[in-house]
Structure 1
Amino acid sequence: MKKTMVAVLLVASMGQAMAADNSARQRLDAFFTKVNSLSGNFTQRVYDKKGAVIQNSSGLLYLSRPGRFRWVYMNPEPQEIVSDGKNVWIYDEELEQVTIKPVGSAVSATPAAVLTRKDPPAARFHVKQLPSKGGQDWFQLVPKQANRDFRSIEMGLDANGNLRRMVMRDQLGQRTDLSLNMKNNVPISGGTFYFQAPKGTDVIGRAQ
């Protein structure tokens, strides 16, 4: 009788674990397919291949899928990166200079390249669920096609399906760790995703 009870408990616990895994995976898929916009603040750290911090930054993020975002770096130096889905404006306030590039070449190695897509992650990545930590469900995404810029992404979502952490590892061994405090599906004005260069700013390139 005791052996039977133990077996029943083991099967039950396995079923609960599988249900939890499925639920977490559903939240990941829903984040990519059902979230149309994100708005909030972020902190970002970049580490070299030896694990030393080489950059600390923070600011605001506005994102509308597919393709549009406004990434505002407030510290340590003011900078804005804005995309309307076709063009990217990279504005350096101190240099009084803005560079305009096609969106594909400008953001391929950044978190924006992943966050602005609206399709299930399995369409482009091998998805592996990692052990939960910090009250978040974690997943590793590895590109199915060779990527010259990054080799893997790790994403941490809370119980409500909100993205809280994102870790990108590039081909050179550097790591970008992004912490997010965002609200999902908030209304954002379309004008947010167009950049008007301040008077006197040097403009390099031309919008499509």
Structure 2
Amino acid sequence: MKNLILVALIVGLNVASTLPAAAEKLSLNAISTYLNGLKTAQGAFTQINDDGTISTGTLYISRPGKMRFEYDPPEQALVVASANAVVIIDKKSNQPPETYPLNRTPLSLILARQVNLDRARMVMGHDYDGTATIVTAQDPDNAEYGTIQMSFTDAPVQLRQWIINDANGGQTTVILGAFETGVSLDSSLFDRSVALRNRDR
């Protein structure tokens, strides 16, 4: 399970959601503006792992810099990103939790204080598939940590999913469910010390 989550991070709308039929290709500036305006969000996610297995759970976002993945049973996993680090906790594992710098994950692009997709060497692809705008991006200062491919629909602009491709060729897809934005989130959700204390309960 630890490796499953680590792939989702380093390489994390319901699957059956119907996409708008009259979408248009979004500019990089429009997408940057949308992400910068996304302060808090909460909703379900479905994760398709590199080995084809599927996980589900609840995702919490508090920009800048904070994200929490709560995985549904039977998995007993939790991932918390805050204070420029990511802690991965698996209650079923005998190994201690692991911590990694947030900037080693492409998710740091979504959680950045200021998203600017026009930055040199950040965007590797900007396409439109008929229903969604697809942006493939990397951290230009840490390209070795992988890429993130984000899908956005229009009217209104919404992030629908992302695909993480890691440096080892692994791929993990996170599909966002019905998301509520602008919500009030308790700061303890992103407190790594609280998550670690709760691990052994």
Whether these two folds match at TM > 0.5 is yes
Q: 1:84 to 1:169 in 2, by over 3 A?
A: closer
Q: Which residue of 1 aligns with 2:21?
A: none
Structure 2 Cα separation of the partners of residues 131 and 46 of structure 1: 24
Q: Which residue of 1 aligns with 2:184?
A: 187
Q: 1:76 to 1:136 in 2, by over 3 A?
A: farther
Q: Which ranges in structure 1 are unaligned for 5 or more consecutive residues? A: 1-19, 48-52, 202-208
**TM-score (norm: length of structure 2):** 0.71
1:43 Cα deviation (Å)? 0.9
Question: What are the Cα deviations for residues 115-144 of structure 1, in whole angstroms up to 9, with x where unaligned?
Answer: 2213222337125321234x2222222442
Describe how 1:43-62 pairs up with structure 2 within 5 A. Answer: 43-47=46-50, 53-62=51-60
Determine which structure has the larger strand proportion and give its number. Answer: 1
Of 34-43 and 72-81, more deviation after overlay is shown by 72-81
Question: What are the Cα deviations for residues 166-187 of structure 1, in whole angstroms up to 9, with x where unaligned?
Answer: 1122222211111012233222
Structure 2 Cα separation of the partners of residues 127 and 118 of structure 1: 21
Task: Pick the structure with greater CA Rg.
Answer: 1
Count of aligned residue pairs for this structure pair: 171
Q: Which residue of the other structure, out of 104, 117, 140, is the alignment partner of 1:144?
A: 140
The residue type equivalent to 1:187 in the other structure is S
Which structure ranks higher in relative contact order (CA pairs < 8 Å, sequence separation ≥ 6)? 2
Q: Which residue of the other structure, out of 71, 81, 84, is the alignment partner of 2:82?
A: 84
Q: Which residue of 2 aligns with 1:130?
A: 127
Q: Which ranges in structure 2 are unaligned for 5 or more consecutive residues? A: 1-23
Structure 1 Cα separation of the partners of residues 90 and 136 of structure 2: 33
Structure 2 Cα separation of the partners of residues 115 and 67 of structure 1: 8
Q: Is the 8 A contact 1:32 1:121 kept in 2?
A: no
- The SS at the match of 1:123 is coil
Q: Which residue of 2 aligns with 1:29?
A: 32
Q: 1:139 to 1:89 in 2, by over 3 A?
A: closer
Structure 2 Cα separation of the partners of residues 164 and 96 of structure 1: 35
Q: 1:88 to 1:141 in 2, by over 3 A?
A: closer
Identity, % of aligned positions: 19
Q: Is the 8 A contact 1:91 1:97 kept in 2?
A: no
Q: 1:95 to 1:142 in 2, by over 3 A?
A: closer
Q: Is the 8 A contact 1:60 1:71 kept in 2?
A: yes
- The SS at the match of 2:176 is strand
Q: Is the 8 A contact 1:39 1:186 kept in 2?
A: yes
Q: Which residue of 1 aligns with 2:5?
A: none
- The SS at the match of 2:72 is strand
Q: Which residue of the other structure, out of 167, 192, 195, is the alignment partner of 1:171?
A: 167
1:99 Cα deviation (Å)? 2.0
Structure 2 Cα separation of the partners of residues 143 and 69 of structure 1: 18
